[in-house]
Structure 1
């Protein structure tokens, strides 16, 4: 049997549940490293906010009417991402969540996640979100180091960053998490560890720990190309990536995806949906969705979206490669065959199971013919190992 890093049962393919992702595209300012679709609008809420929330509803009704995936299903996750959803009024989010509940069956234990940035947070704001139905909050901190934030092109409000502990301790939303980033060339490993230790002491439920990457088309990528800024520090990134699993385990965090850690059973259920190849409804400019075995992407332009909220590009999903690229990023134990039987033909399923056996013989995973789990030693070879799973022809 695998050496499970969680007392939970192995993950299995699920049926009958769907999630909703809502993309709010506005931020205080566009961060240099970010390749998600977003627009900087300063401190003021967008003048298009009411129009945007009306467009979400129009798109939702269109997809509900035209998608077999939304028939006889229950909504068990709702995720407000961006951009910076905390730029919008909690009143609008409350109305939208109520709208979803009226239109589709929502489970009693639905996970309703909300992304926010530190500059928008207050005890009162979180109380309003909780009253709206939000029960999970993820805050994009990235770093508490002002020099690091400036390097990333982030808006910095030092007072808000200093008040995070007080705000979190008074929050009516109990499932709190943060994003931290490492590998900025102007920060050291100890700078990152200082940030990490600060938030570990808060006993947060979830931590996403990402390395800074060069994403094509971003301001940061162009500045590196033009020798204005240095590229990410890959040596420090490797050091940090290597020590994180053991450090986080010592503090009671389960390593469940390459960059994600949580308290026992406090996974982001919505993000697990992406990794487990489950359907979800994506709403908003720049949002992507997966319904009826089709991928779709909305235009990365808020003005275009507001005029035509149902005008998305669609293409068939490629089950074999997508399952390899998503499911095998998980470091939890799972049963591959249940996913393969659900989404692949028998030939493709048998080929991938044979590849798993080959990876097991190389010593990179635990595998008993039923339950699979990566070993820590697979971390730095993960991309190549996943490509092996795809290349079974």
Structure 2
């Protein structure tokens, strides 16, 4: 399978006037060994500073507004609550915050509002509360149903919730449900991954993210591998699975739209597409990143520091060429490339087009002067190909 163009009706086009919001909720039951996102394990209860944190989100919003006056002019069509584990916070607090955004900003009627959740937090009552709060998309970090692998990953899990996860998701009042699965743990059985995938695709979930276990600098897992206390990921298994997934998922009715992401028709994560298509987004919370006015900022990865000085992170200008090369070209969708190259300097635009012509000569992509799309045989070369796009030659 070289192309998925037949699954997508029209190429992606650069948009103007839209913006997303990302809110980082840092608390979780316990920090997983492989996780490099900012998070704090606090056990089974609620955080003592939850209310103060939600109040500070609003304070940061007003501080960001002072430096980006056009925030009120933009259409907000995605809001994403990530973490950490946002499902540890109360539905009431999310309801209050979302109502605040709708009051202060131009939130579209069809806004996508996503919340990340862990299986242990899900119940019919809680999901109803989330839906009433306005959340219309749920992403559940399952990773695996194999208890041995969950233990290896350092994840907290409740056996009964994992055994009932299919029932909970299939009965969810929030219709747009997706999950994350992970593969390539060192002693895992490849068959277990394919069984997990079959289990969840049978539920006809709208979105499935499939990630290989990786060594991320600064994580407990990375340190343990370096100190030879545990094994590195099974890279041979990861390559075998990654090579088979695009065809397998297409046969199951899913569109492959980013290296690790698949969805049913029109069920892309619209918020994540912003990251990959150079659209601005407001980031709020400790450890959150934002992209406004062609500048990036990253909040401190410390909740105490954030609560004392929200909005203190300095914004730095970015290179459109580097940003777009590192993000847009991770997509396997057809892309109307000229609409994105408008942000480039003329010199950079000419260089990019020459490089893409070379990619076509190597049979790595489809390119007709307007629409660009990777072929599957570019998958295992992708990091190197993107570096070529970033380089000045």
Specify if TM > 0.5: yes
Q: 1:69 to 1:334 in 2, by over 3 A?
A: farther
Task: Give 1:191 deviation, angstroms.
Answer: 1.2
Specify every segment of 5 or more residues in structure 1 that has no aligned partner in the other structure, as ranges. Answer: none
- Whether 1:33 aligns to 2:19 is no
1:51-130 equivalences in 2 (<5 Å): 51-130=52-131
TM-score normalised by structure 1 residue count: 0.98
Q: How far apart, in 1, do the equivalents of 2:378 and 2:29 lie?
A: 39
Q: How far apart, in 2, do the equivalents of 1:198 and 1:130 lie?
A: 25
Task: Give 1:389 deviation, angstroms.
Answer: 0.8
Please list the CA deviations of residues 161-201 of structure 1 after superposition, one character each: whole Å capped at 9, or x if unmatched: 11111111221100000000000001021111111111010
TM-score normalised by structure 2 residue count: 0.98
1:15-30 equivalences in 2 (<5 Å): 15-30=16-31
Task: Give 1:295 deviation, angstroms.
Answer: 0.4
Task: Give 1:353 deviation, angstroms.
Answer: 0.9
Please list the CA deviations of residues 296-348 of structure 1 after superposition, one character each: whole Å capped at 9, or x if unmatched: 0000000010111111132111211110010000000001111011x111111
Q: 1:99 to 1:116 in 2, by over 3 A?
A: same
- Larger mean Cα displacement after TM superposition, 41-50 or 188-197: 188-197
Please list the CA deviations of residues 45-67 of structure 1 after superposition, one character each: whole Å capped at 9, or x if unmatched: 00000000000000011112220
SS of residue paired to 2:335: coil
Q: How far apart, in 1, do the equivalents of 2:184 and 2:129 lie?
A: 35
Q: How far apart, in 1, do the equivalents of 2:306 and 2:33 lie?
A: 24
Q: How far apart, in 2, do the equivalents of 1:76 and 1:210 lie?
A: 26
Instruction: Verify the 8 A CA contact 2:4 2:256 in the aligned structure 1.
Output: no
Instruction: Verify the 8 A CA contact 1:188 1:236 in the aligned structure 2.
Output: no
Q: 1:185 to 1:377 in 2, by over 3 A?
A: same
Instruction: Give the total of aligned pairs.
Output: 391
Please name the residue that 1:355 is paired with: 355
Q: How far apart, in 2, do the equivalents of 1:319 and 1:134 lie?
A: 32
**RMSD between superposed Cα atoms in Å:** 1.0
Please list the CA deviations of residues 255-276 of structure 1 after superposition, one character each: whole Å capped at 9, or x if unmatched: 0000000001100000000000
Please name the residue that 1:227 is paired with: 228
Please name the residue that 2:297 is paired with: 296
Instruction: Verify the 8 A CA contact 2:24 2:83 in the aligned structure 1.
Output: yes
Instruction: Verify the 8 A CA contact 1:139 1:179 in the aligned structure 2.
Output: yes
Q: 1:3 to 1:199 in 2, by over 3 A?
A: closer
Q: How far apart, in 2, do the equivalents of 1:318 and 1:217 lie?
A: 27
Instruction: Verify the 8 A CA contact 1:352 1:392 in the aligned structure 2.
Output: no
Task: Give 1:102 deviation, angstroms.
Answer: 0.3
- Whether 1:212 aligns to 2:205 is no
Please name the residue that 1:391 is paired with: 391
